[in-house]
Amino acid sequence: MRKVFKNCYEMDRRCYEDYGLTEDILMEHAAEGMESYMRHQLKGASSILIVAGPGNNGADGIALARLMQFGFGSVKLYLPFGAKSTMGKLQLKRVELLDYVEVVDTLYDADIVVDALFGAGLSRPLNETGQNIVNEMNGLNGFKIACDIPTGIDERGYVANEVFDADVTITMGALKEALYSDMVKDFTGDVIRVDLGLRYNYYTKGTTPSSYLLTKEDIGLPSREFSQVTHKGSFGHVVVLCGEKEGAGIMAAMSAARFGAGLTTVISHEKVALPPYLMHAGELPMGATAIAVGMGLGHYMDDAFLFKTVVDSHLSVLLDADSFYNAKLLRVLEEKEREIVLTPHLKEFTVLWKMLTGETLTVEQVQADRFGVVRKFAALYPHVTLLLKGANMLIVQGDKSYINPLGSSRLSKGGSGDVLSGLIVALLAQGYSGVDAAIQGSLALTAAAAGYGGSSYAMLPVDLIDAVARLESTDWA
């Protein structure tokens, strides 16, 4: 896991007050970090255009122009708004004392195009002039690098209009939450972090991260390689409630069985066609350890049956999909002595929020402030684990939040969420806490999608389930 922060203002302040560093020193190292990346990773490039804004993000870009004195035949600096901050003016004065940086009055194509317009300092939507500049930059052919945060993204990760479309974002000091909202995933490219004149552990010392970024190294499969004296009861008993759209419940059950559940039972009022490794029951079986409900449920089961089976059972529980439309099922959230995981997508979350608080949120409002919204939920239900689905899944419990950025558009197909439900409930049945089950279930889902070898549009839920079976032997990318 990697620490993620809302911003770096407090850490920069501590550099000045506790370590005797200056704004100039931090800026120099920011520029050196960008310069080092270009020299080592983009060795074939011979020309660079740096588009610098009026503030300190622009000053970083101006400092970079000064450092690019060797190995680049052409270094052009474009200042559409001038240099207005104290550091910007100082950096420009230094550049003007040299003869190898050409200050230009229009955009030019180059092998490398650097966006240093606004970065994290953007506090309002771009005006028409700013939008036009960003649009023109996006039309250039060069390899595109964003300084700190691509222009057009604000501190919440919200996008109001035009955004610089970066191949790489080189962010300064620490990772920022704005780089991991759903709205920006197509614009940041690869995110590279550079230090600012002191080691990372000193820079972040005494500062609590706002989130943790999950990486492929964080995956922990429910392996059975280390214990031989076991039986099926050692790995829990999953129960999946199967409703009107029976395929959803069956896929969740198949997924749970694949991910290590010792026994898996599907509850429905009528017989359904099941693979032979799944059991069928009409009511909660003895020995069950975790329940999943909501996937394709519809209005198939009456409230009294659901209340008895789910709310009164006191088992670990996963709620998904149609669960969020049922007020009686949601009474389970009041039970603080059991593991509870919710896995809504955006629309389902707005329904859930309305049911719980009476407040109306639109999908657009949730998407615009995903981190803020999930934290409001966690403040109301700190014992519940919430996984908000999306391009970057957010997982929150209490004051801890986690980001899984490893998903892809392959998962944008009906049934992927049912597979995720099965993965998570399988871990709940095996004794995982809610937050650990959500983290590891989400990582297994994204790993399975990454390991799929077919066309980008072709992956089916059953392909995901099959890929889960190979995760122990797969080096997924």
What's the CATH code of the domain at 202? 3.40.50.10260
Residues 186 and 334 reside in one and the same domain: no
Do 269 and 142 sit in the same domain of this protein? Answer: no
pLDDT tens-digit profile of 414-456?
999 999 999 999 999 999 999 999 999 999 999 999 989 899 8
Q: What is the mean pLDDT of residues 251-264?
A: 96
Give the model's pLDDT for residue 287.
93
- Contact yes or no for 145/167 (Cβ under 8 A): yes
Average pLDDT over residues 151-162: 89
Burial class (CB in 10 A: 0-12, 13-18, 19+), 345: middle
Predicted local distance difference test score (pLDDT) of residue 120: 72
What is the arithmetic mean of pLDDT over 97-120? 91
User: Do residues 239 and 333 both lie within one domain?
Assistant: yes
Say what percent of the chain tops pLDDT 70. Answer: 99
- Which residues fall within 8 angstroms of residue 319, CB to CB, at 6 or more apart? 293, 294, 329, 330, 332, 340, 341, 342, 343
Q: Indicate which CATH number applies to the domain containing 310.
A: 3.40.1190.20
Q: Is the pLDDT of residue 46 over 80?
A: yes
Residues 227 and 188 in one domain: no
pLDDT for residue 109: 93
What pLDDT does 291 receive?
98
Per-residue pLDDT at 233 exceeds 90: no
Instruction: Say if residue 40 is in the same domain as residue 132.
Output: yes
Mean pLDDT of 27-32: 95
Which structural domain, as residue segments, surrounds residue 95? 2-209
**What pLDDT sits at residue 224?**
79
CA dist 96 and 102 (Å) reads 9
pLDDT value at residue 476: 56
Which of 192, 209, 226 terminates a domain? The answer is 209
Same domain (yes/no): 205, 221: no
Instruction: Indicate if the pLDDT at residue 293 is higher than 60.
Output: yes
**What is the average pLDDT across 146-174?**
93
Q: Which of residues 167, 190, 209 is at a domain's end?
A: 209
Number of domains, the chain: 2
- In a shared domain, residues 178 and 290: no
> In this model, does residue 56 exceed pLDDT 70?
yes
Quick one: 389 and 353 in the same domain?
Answer: yes
Order of strands across the sheet that contains 237-241: 175-176, 2-5, 211-213, 400-404, 393-397, 385-388, 340-342, 316-319, 290-293, 237-241, 263-267, 279-281
When comparing pLDDT for 260 and 475, which is higher?
Answer: 260
Mean pLDDT, the chain, rounded, equals 93
pLDDT interval class at 223 (50, 70, 90): confident
End-of-domain residue from the set 185, 209, 233 = 209
Instruction: Answer yes or no: do 191 and 325 share one domain.
Output: no
DSSP 63-119: HHHHHTTSS-SEEEEE-TT---SHHHHHHHHHHHT-SSEEEESS----SEEEEESSG
Mean pLDDT of 67-94: 91
Per-residue pLDDT tens digits for 202-222 = 999 989 999 999 999 999 999
Q: Give the pLDDT band of residue 357 (cuts 50, 70, 90).
A: very high
Confidence of residue 163 (pLDDT cuts 50, 70, 90): very high
Residue indicated by tokens 């195009």: 113
Q: Indicate if 364 and 283 belong to the same structural domain.
A: yes
Q: Is the pLDDT of residue 228 over 90?
A: no
**Least confident window among 127-131, 343-347, 351-355, 384-388:** 127-131
Q: What are phi and psi of 219, to 5 degrees?
A: -65, 135
Instruction: Judge if 164 and 258 occupy the same domain.
Output: no
pLDDT band at residue 43 under the 50/70/90 scheme:
confident
What's this model's pTM, rounded to 2 decimal places?
0.93
Domain check: are 221 and 205 in the same one?
no
